Structures are given as C-alpha cells and as structure tokens.
Copies of this chain bind each other. A is one copy, B any other.
Amino acid sequence: MPLLIRGGTVVNHDHSRRADVLIHGETIAAVATAIEAPAGSAIIDAGGCYVMPGGIDPHTHLEMPFMGTVTADDFESGTKAALTGGTTMVVDHCLPDPGQSLLSAYQDWRRKSEVAAADYGFHMAVTSWSKQIHDEMETVVKTYGINTFKHFMAYKGALMVNDDELYNSFARCAGLGAMPLVHAENGDIVARMQEAMMARGVTGPEGHAYSRPPEVEGEATNRAIMIADMTGTPLYVVHTSCREAHEAIARARAAGKRVYGEPLIQHLLLDAREYASKDWNHSAQRVMSPPFRDKVHQDSLWAGLQAGSLQVVATDHCAFTTEQKRFGLDDFRKIPNGTGGLEDRMPLLWTAGVGTGRLTKEEFVAVTSANIARILNIYPRKGAVATGSDADLVVWDPAATKAIRASTQFSRIDYNVFEGFTCTGAPAITLSRGKIAWKDGDLRAGKGDGRYIERPAFPPV
C-alpha cells in the first residue's frame, strides 16, 4: 500500500521546500509538490510539519559488556527509544574480547542485534594488533560491510592501543578503504591523574572529571590526526567534547586534512557543574568519558557545528543504571562510564540549535543524519528525503513540546541526564523503511524489525 505524506515541508541538508513524499514499500518513490495520491494510498497529513530524514546515531553501545557489567539497553530497547525520538538508525560498536577474532565478535554482535527494532550498522573495534587482526580486517570490510574501525586511546590496560598499533591499524584502513575512528584521550596520563586523585583522597565522581581534563583529550586528538595523516587516511574523532580537541580538528582541516569531529548532545548542553552535586548518584549517573566540560567548551562546539569544522551530533548512548553506577561508590575509577541520550538527541538539538537560531533546519538535518550518512558511505540511501532513498523519515512538529522525564522514557535506565529539560520541536511520526514506527506516543515498531545495513568501502588511499 503506497503511503503519501502530504502538506509538509521537506527538509534536506542542503535545501527545504514544500513537497509531498510518496512511499512505495520501503522506499521513497517521489518527492514533489502536490503529488496525486495513488489509489489505495494511506495518507499522512504533515501540515505545519517538517518532513526530514530519520536521525542516524553513529555512536551507541547496546548490550555492551564494559567494566564488569553490561549496558542496560539492548538492541531492542535502545532502538525503540531511538525511534520514539526520531532516530531511525544506529551504528553500534562491535567490541572483541581480548584475543577474540574480529570475525567471531562480529557474529556475536549480529546475534545480539537480531532484536533491533530499527536499522543498524557496526563499527569494529581494534583493541590490539596482530597479523590475525590485520588479515581479518579485510573480511570485516569486504564481507561484513563495515568500513570503520574504532580505536581507544584511553582505558589503559583494557581497550587502549598505543601509537605503534594506531599507525598499523590506520595504515591498514587506508589500504582497505576503511576509516579509523578514535576515542581520543591520553590513557597513560589519565591513569596517572586518576592515581593522583585517589592519592589525594578524591574518590567521588568529581575525581573522574578532574582526571580527564580537556588538555588530555586535545592532545590525543592532535596525535591521532598526525598518525592518520602519516598513513594517508581520513579520520573520525568520536565524542569531541572540548575546545582543545575541536581546535586540533579545525587546525587539521584548515591545512586541508580530512578529519571529522562528533560532539555529543550531552556535551553541547550539560556542563561540569553537574559533578559538583552533593548527591553521589546524580554525579555518578553523569560519569562518562570525556566528562562534561566547563561552559566555554560548549560555545566552541556550537561554533564548530555552524562553521562546519564539526559535522555530526551523536549520543554515545551507553546506559548504566544507578545500581550499576554504584559499583564505583568508593572509587570513581570503577563507576561504569556512560550516559543515555538516544531518545532525546533530536528534540534537544532542535530546541537548543534551531530554536535559538544557532543552526538552520538544514544544518540540523546535516548533523543528525545527512553528514553522518555521507561520512559512513550510506548516503543517500540513508540521510536524504529523495527518490530512491530508504523511507526512514521523521514528521517533525516544530510546535510540539516534550518534557524529558526518566519516568516516561523508553530507555531502561532509571534516570535521565536531561531530566527536566523541555523541548519545543519533536517527532509527530517516525517511519522506518516506509512503516510507521512511532506515532503520537504509540510505538509500533517491533522487536526484530530493524535490518543490518552494510556500508561499502571507500576507494583505498
């Protein structure tokens, strides 16, 4: 049955116009003014609304084992939360255990992700280096459709890789037409700063923030850029949270290098004062890496989105319950790192970005879907309202308001770091490959409705 979205304003990353959108099956069949409804069409009235590409969140951790526990949202609850907020695709991290084959890790993640209610893809993590990993990377790219490899410059003794390993893996990426991603913090220095904090008796969540200052992220970002440059590969820096990191990226781009930066909605809106709470739970719930920063860094991130030196807004959705957070009651180093956001990213960014005049609505589409799809090489299948694209769409009501409350959220955790924020601008309807996934509070997408999205390699460097 064809579906016609009528009367809205179609917003793409480069242009907006009044137009109707006709969907056949999973795909957009036409975008034009005044489309005649084919016989038997269902009709969605988008009057007063924007019709935009569904959001893509390029950075999630669903059902991920980490620091001795497992993230609270799995692929089902996570993607359902996403859909309610207008996000129709996530890119999660496939994280091999120490010594585990990349191929086997991939199989594990495919298994876990079968319950997903929205589309998804993977980044593959490289957490050590060996001939086996070198060889398996080819299969990951060519057979599994993964064109990005994630590297952790922090989490010493666990996920961290050193410069030699980064060089090797980046060079391999260059040869395969894949792109490296980095979590950029200097793990050696973080470890020493953590020790110093503990030695001074600073054991609470504020110690987490003190031991990971912006300088430590800025340095690692700068270093990863140099290494990527030496191997000739572009680079994607996840969760760019501070001025120093942003400036390292901007400097590289100003020299013609192909480097991308991804601020999180958390870092755009929340700041380090959260760790000054008297309530351990409050602060611990907000423990993530990088931590929230002083306000001055937010200005830098917003300006980066405006100037184009930062391209993507993500969530690093990595949800742990308060109970899980309490593993670190006596030692901040044991608090599982991560916060939620999948459900809230789109309305929050609209409110704080478009609502304030900082971003145009086209830029909103760019940083929540189109740029991501382009960088991850799935555009315009995803990220565009265009003939032939997947009908992953959000009918966005700029007048709708949404109060963020843990008590009504879909995510499985018991709090929300944005508790009390009120958004103006929210999805009225989310469509996933042509089907209404969510409408007016009614979640229709089901477990397993999501599909794995292969992402083709770039031409090798």
Residue ranges of A at the interface with B (Cβ–Cβ < 8 Å): 13-15, 31-32, 162-164, 167-168, 171, 186, 188-189, 191-193, 213, 215-216, 218-219, 222-223, 226-227, 229-230, 250, 253-256, 258, 296, 302-304, 306-309, 358, 370, 374, 379-380, 387-388
> CA separation between A191 and B162, bound complex, in Å?
14
Are A370 and B307 within 8 A (Cβ)? no
Q: A14-B14, A14-B374 are in contact. Are A230 and B189 (CB under 8 A)?
A: yes
Are A189 and B216 within 8 A (Cβ)? no
Are A379 and B191 within 8 A (Cβ)? no
Determine the chain B residues whose CB is within 8 A of the CB of A191 once the complex forms: 164
Q: A14-B370, A164-B188 are in contact. List 20 more A-B contacts (CB 8 A).
A: A14-B374, A15-B379, A162-B188, A163-B186, A163-B188, A163-B189, A164-B191, A164-B192, A167-B188, A186-B223, A186-B226, A215-B229, A218-B226, A222-B222, A253-B306, A254-B303, A256-B303, A258-B306, A308-B308, A387-B387
| Residue among A296, A307, A387 with the highest chain B CB neighbour number at 10 A | A307
> CA separation between A256 and B215, bound complex, in Å?
14
Q: A14-B379, A302-B256, A387-B32 are in contact. Are A215 and B189 (CB under 8 A)?
A: no
| Residue among A191, A227, A230, A370 with the highest chain B CB neighbour number at 10 A | A230
Q: A14-B13, A307-B254, A308-B308 are in contact. Are A215 and B230 (CB under 8 A)?
A: yes
Q: Please name the residue on chain B nearest to A259 by beta carbon.
A: B307
> CA separation between A171 and B250, bound complex, in Å?
31
Interface of A is mostly: helix
For residue A16, give the distance in angstroms from its CB to the closest CB of chain B: 11
Determine the chain B residues whose CB is within 8 A of the CB of A15 once the complex forms: 374, 379-380
Q: Please name the residue on chain B nearest to A164 by beta carbon.
A: B188
> CA separation between A250 and B253, bound complex, in Å?
11
Q: Please name the residue on chain B nearest to A379 by beta carbon.
A: B15
Determine the chain B residues whose CB is within 8 A of the CB of A189 once the complex forms: 163, 167, 226-227, 230
For residue A164, give the distance in angstroms from its CB to the closest CB of chain B: 4
> CA separation between A370 and B139, bound complex, in Å?
38
Are A253 and B307 within 8 A (Cβ)? yes
> CA separation between A246 and B412, bound complex, in Å?
49
For residue A297, give the distance in angstroms from its CB to the closest CB of chain B: 12
Determine the chain B residues whose CB is within 8 A of the CB of A218 once the complex forms: 226
> CA separation between A192 and B232, bound complex, in Å?
14
Determine the chain B residues whose CB is within 8 A of the CB of A374 once the complex forms: 14-15
Are B32 and A255 within 8 A (Cβ)? no
> CA separation between A193 and B308, bound complex, in Å?
30
Q: Please name the residue on chain B nearest to A388 by beta carbon.
A: B32
Determine the chain B residues whose CB is within 8 A of the CB of A255 once the complex forms: 303, 307
For residue A236, give the distance in angstroms from its CB to the closest CB of chain B: 16
Determine the chain B residues whose CB is within 8 A of the CB of A186 once the complex forms: 163, 223, 226-227
Determine the chain B residues whose CB is within 8 A of the CB of A226 once the complex forms: 186, 189, 215-216, 218-219
The 9 residue pairs across chains A and B that have the minimum distance between CB atoms: A163-B188, A256-B303, A219-B226, A253-B307, A256-B306, A164-B188, A308-B308, A167-B192, A215-B226
For residue A135, give the distance in angstroms from its CB to the closest CB of chain B: 18
> CA separation between A426 and B189, bound complex, in Å?
41
For residue A357, give the distance in angstroms from its CB to the closest CB of chain B: 10
For residue A367, give the distance in angstroms from its CB to the closest CB of chain B: 14
Determine the chain B residues whose CB is within 8 A of the CB of A168 once the complex forms: 192
Q: Please name the residue on chain B nearest to A253 by beta carbon.
A: B307
> CA separation between A308 and B307, bound complex, in Å?
8
Determine the chain B residues whose CB is within 8 A of the CB of A309 once the complex forms: 253-254, 307-308
> CA separation between A162 and B435, bound complex, in Å?
54
Determine the chain B residues whose CB is within 8 A of the CB of A219 once the complex forms: 222-223, 226-227
> CA separation between A111 and B220, bound complex, in Å?
42
> CA separation between A32 and B28, bound complex, in Å?
13
Are A250 and B256 within 8 A (Cβ)? no
